[in-house]
Amino acid sequence: MTTYLELKTEPVMAAFAELDAIASRFLRHLGSVDVAPLCRGHVQSISPAADKFTGQCLDTPYVVRWRAVVAEGRPALQEFEFAARHEGEPVVLTRVYLGRTGKLSLDSGQLVPLCDYDDHEVARTLAGLVLTGLLSSVIYAPRDRVYDLDELEDPAPDSQAR
């Protein structure tokens, strides 16, 4: 006999399984794409079994984590968040959303489509988003700070330091 709770949870669990499957296919595809060095960086490692992958852009390391996102009470998307660290704090560079149909978009409403998860240019597209996020982030913003006098002095040459 099927309970009311089972009737409610079965479609939710099936939706989670669909999202996990499409995310795994996306990560396998992304891991198999030959990524030429983009923006002085590259994807360092991708493992569909893990909960993150790492990359580097403009010599800045970043981490990508993903999670399921619920819309209208059901798991509908996987959110991929690209973040770097700056002065010990996380800086979100970009987010992309993967729907159960395999479409990547810039927003959770999937109104700004990017490409299909298995598009041959998907790595280049994501690298462009990371690059844009970095260039508009606090990481590359002017520091606008006053230096102490000792910070402005030239260091002593090795021969004088002894």
80 sits in which H/E element:
strand 74-86
Entry pTM: 0.79
Spell out the domain ranges in the chain. Answer: 4-140
Helices (H), 45-157: 122-135, 149-152
Each residue's pLDDT expressed in tens, for the chain with a length of 162 residues: 567 666 678 888 999 999 999 998 998 888 777 655 555 555 555 544 577 888 888 888 889 999 999 987 889 999 999 999 999 999 999 999 999 999 999 998 888 999 999 998 888 888 889 989 999 999 998 877 677 777 777 776 665 554
HSE-CB at 139 with a 13 A cutoff on CA atoms is: 24
